[in-house]
Structure 1
Amino acid sequence: MTKKYRINIINGEEPIIYLPHEFAKNEFTKIAFGTLSLEAKFSPAKIDGENTLTISHGLAKALKIPMDSGPLHVFVQEKILYIGPLVGIFTSGFTPYEIRPIGERSAFFSKLLSVDKPIGALVFVFGEQHINWEQGTIQGLFHMQDEWKKLEVPFPNVIYDRLPNRRSEQNPHVKKVKEKLQAQYLIPWYNPGFFNKLDIYERLVSDKNVAHYLPETFPFTSLSMIERMLSDYGHVFIKPIHGSLGLGVHQIVFDKEEGHYYIRYRNKEHQNKLLKFRSLESLFNYVFQKQNLSNFLVQQGINLIRIENRLLDFRVHTNKDDQGNWQVTAIAAKLAGVGSVTTHINNGGTIKLIDEIFPQIDEKEEIIQKFSEAALQLSKSLEQQIEGIIGEIGFDLGIDNTGKIWLFEANSKPGRSIFKHPHLKKFEYLTRKLSLAFAVFLTKKAIEQPEEILK
């Protein structure tokens, strides 16, 4: 792995850099920061400072290196010395306010950027409006000394996609920016795109290594299909293919003794509803009368373990680290609110620690091992089958009454609601740290083996 070096900027306009003695045998002609490279003079350090690169003010200014840079990595390829990585976080929803330049998400981004010094990167936030295509620069938003600063920097080594929703992702201007930076500037872009539930199911079900985690799932086609699934499983879930946050999820239950159909869902007034119908047709005519059913999928109901007769599932986060390997970074339980069809906090759900659900040490360790094994297998399978570079995934998993693990959903931009639990703070930090540490790995790969990244 590459080492981190302190960046020491000294007076002087001559483009010169003083290198530690470990680089004495290298013959450099250029220095690069982000996607900008310049010719420079390379000299051995007069006093071999421990892990320090000393750069003249003139060279640092020409490279547009911010004065408050922390330790950075050094990458060597042929006769170019790369320092970085410079990481751009691409998003939307900017405001004209200096204190909250990204609106309500400003606090999240300030926390995300706070891990840049520990991982040895320089990280900023930007949108399409901050790009100067002619100059090849970006007016990036940096969070330094507890305040937001806008600084001009070169195009970054890698870009981390943090677009907030599908609507912003489908914006034609945003799509054009993504295509241009990837195709023309060959900048690796990770975590692109929100997952389509049905597409993810169809990809995973074709992989025999993970297919057993998947409940039977189909696009909505007819009531007869739902009747068949209700006969097989007793209950099914109707979900929007492009949904998130548990919005639009309906549970349909068939009571064989009564011959009645029950539906549980959350209405537009944020009320949990439980309704009874004599037929499936009357249920659909009443509940789904104004909805396009081609936008929904039907999923097998699972008899999950419950607590106090409340639905229970689990969120498992995985991240790629600075070696490019998948890690399980967080596991937490989610307990549904009373009468709720999902476990989301905005539907009245609560977060529980694994210890609270499984107080017996042996049982807890077995469950953690099962979840970890499933999440890592699923992460590797998705990575192989999804276009683009994936660096993090949030899985919604469940356990049925026999102890079998089930996958309900995979999220390419996982929410962070589980980290509101005070005892999950260290895991919240780990997910932030690794989501940016992965950029170090990508930068190294893009410099040394670009064909591996850009294929």
Structure 2
Amino acid sequence: MEEKDNLPKTDVSRDGQKPVVQKKYTIGLLVSRSNKRVKKYLTGLLDLADCCEDGVVVVFSLKGISRERQVINGYLYNASERKWEPATFSIPDAIINRISLKRKWVQYFEDTVGCNMINNFTFSKWDMYQWLSKNPNFNKYLPLTQIITEPKVIIDFLEQYKEGYIKPINGSYGKGIYKISKEDEIFKLDVSRDRKKTQSMYVNYEELTEYFRKICKRRNYIIQQVIDLYVVDRPVDFRLITVKNGLGEWRDVGLLARKGVKGEIVSNTGVVKNGNSALQNVLSIRRNEAIELRKKMIDVSLEAAKEMERYGGPNGNLGNLGFDLAIDRNKNLWIIEINHRNPRHRMAVDAGESGMYVQANKLMMDFAITLAKAEGQ
């Protein structure tokens, strides 16, 4: 913290000019590893930047940071013209992080901003399972999951469960997911790639072993128990938006339902709807059952958020999460995934629930402002 305290707080210069903005605090949005990718995110960040009325908002990448000079090249939000402008600035007082961080960067931000980074550590699907499964309060909500260290893990899993989902441990948006099943000596692989239609292939033992030996060299994968989420041959799951408010307290912002395309193995390519009504209508359950399930989703998710924060250690600070949840045919609740890098709350707009999106941005910025003001005191 000593290095940062020697810097002029909230000094910002445009295009090499002298500082032109002097305000109380600066909120940084870390959105990419490389400078090239920052520009593509700028338009989508305008709504979040608008939530900060009396501070400076800047956007940057890891590549834009000069660790020696403790300054950053990025973009400054010009609120009066509602646009981003190239700028150089000191380390922000608080940061909203939207990317995965390697250990060296976790340490760097801990040294420079302390706990003032929202989502200041990274965890994979496997990390989440390992941590939560140790706790009996959460283990019952987790599909059985194993890390694939070699193709034999897949074979052994199918001997017991007949089918499973194979997922990249750091994947997102439903990309690169396989559904695998076994019948006699033949294995069926359904593959989800981006937004393209699921492709199926049939392989024998040797072909399966060779195929996964190759892909597991490039990425790490898990195999996960299949939960029966299907309603009339369509996968249905739920996204619970959870964000901390200005007091640092977790809040339930809203529930969305995602109904996938018929025959697909993921719900990401389907329709997004209001989750509260979908609980009752899509799952065809009574109103009181839907209310009870909704409450359970909130209670379990908010406690799981607190538990994952403990995974980050004494300085771990989460504040922006999206829980992927499922209800099976027996009305059991399952935690499929916790999204923390960029939960994409904008999907609420697709469901006609722009209020959720606005509230999520406001709460997130309020929390960042609280952290920044505490830093400046």
Closer, same or farther: CA 134–193 of 1 in aligned 2, 3 Å: closer
Structural mapping, 1:48-447, within 5 Å: 66=21, 84-92=24-32, 93-94=34-35, 102-117=38-53, 121-127=55-61, 128-129=63-64, 134=69, 140-144=75-79, 145-150=81-86, 154-163=90-99, 166=100, 169=101, 179-180=107-108, 182-184=110-112, 186=114, 188-221=116-149, 225-255=153-183, 260-266=186-192, 270-277=196-203, 279=204, 281-282=205-206, 284-285=208-209, 287-288=211-212, 290-292=214-216, 295-304=220-229, 306-345=230-269, 349-354=270-275, 355-359=277-281, 360-387=286-313, 388-413=316-341, 414-416=343-345, 418-446=347-375
CA–CA distance in structure 2, aligned partners of residues 137 and 253 of structure 1: 50
CA RMSD of aligned residues (A): 3.4
What does the per-residue CA deviation read over 1:412-450, in whole Å, with 9 as the maximum and x for residues that have no partner?
Answer: 1213462242422110111111221111332355467xx
Closer, same or farther: CA 146–248 of 1 in aligned 2, 3 Å: same
What does the per-residue CA deviation read over 1:40-66, in whole Å, with 9 as the maximum and x for residues that have no partner?
Answer: xxxxxxxxxxxxxxxxxxxxxxx9673
CA–CA distance in structure 1, aligned partners of residues 193 and 9 of structure 2: 56
CA–CA distance in structure 1, aligned partners of residues 74 and 212 of structure 2: 47
Closer, same or farther: CA 137–385 of 1 in aligned 2, 3 Å: closer
CA–CA distance in structure 2, aligned partners of residues 407 and 135 of structure 1: 40
CA–CA distance in structure 1, aligned partners of residues 153 and 238 of structure 2: 28
Closer, same or farther: CA 261–146 of 1 in aligned 2, 3 Å: same
Q: Which has the higher mean CA deviation after the structures are superposed, 261-270 or 201-210?
A: 261-270
What does the per-residue CA deviation read over 1:161-204, in whole Å, with 9 as the maximum and x for residues that have no partner?
Answer: 233xx5xx55x9xx56x644542565722213442111121111
Number of aligned pairs? 354
% of aligned pairs identical? 23
Helix, strand or coil: the match of 1:330? Answer: strand
Once the two structures are TM-superposed, the CA of residue 270 in structure 1 deviates from its matched residue by: 3.6
CA–CA distance in structure 2, aligned partners of residues 312 and 139 of structure 1: 40
Helix, strand or coil: the match of 2:214? Answer: coil
Contact 1:138/1:155 (CA < 8 Å) preserved in 2? no
What does the per-residue CA deviation read over 1:303-342, in whole Å, with 9 as the maximum and x for residues that have no partner?
Answer: 23x2221111111121111111111213111122233221
CA–CA distance in structure 2, aligned partners of residues 268 and 439 of structure 1: 33
Closer, same or farther: CA 36–411 of 1 in aligned 2, 3 Å: same
CA–CA distance in structure 2, aligned partners of residues 337 and 314 of structure 1: 15
Give me the TM-score of the superposition, normalised by structure 2.
0.80
Structure 1: gaps (5+ residues): 1-32, 39-62, 70-83, 96-100, 449-455
Higher relative contact order (CA 8 A, sep 6+): 2
What does the per-residue CA deviation read over 1:252-302, in whole Å, with 9 as the maximum and x for residues that have no partner?
Answer: 1234xx66532211358944222334x5x1451464363226721111112
Give the letter for the 2:76 counterpart.
L
Closer, same or farther: CA 91–34 of 1 in aligned 2, 3 Å: farther
Closer, same or farther: CA 65–34 of 1 in aligned 2, 3 Å: farther
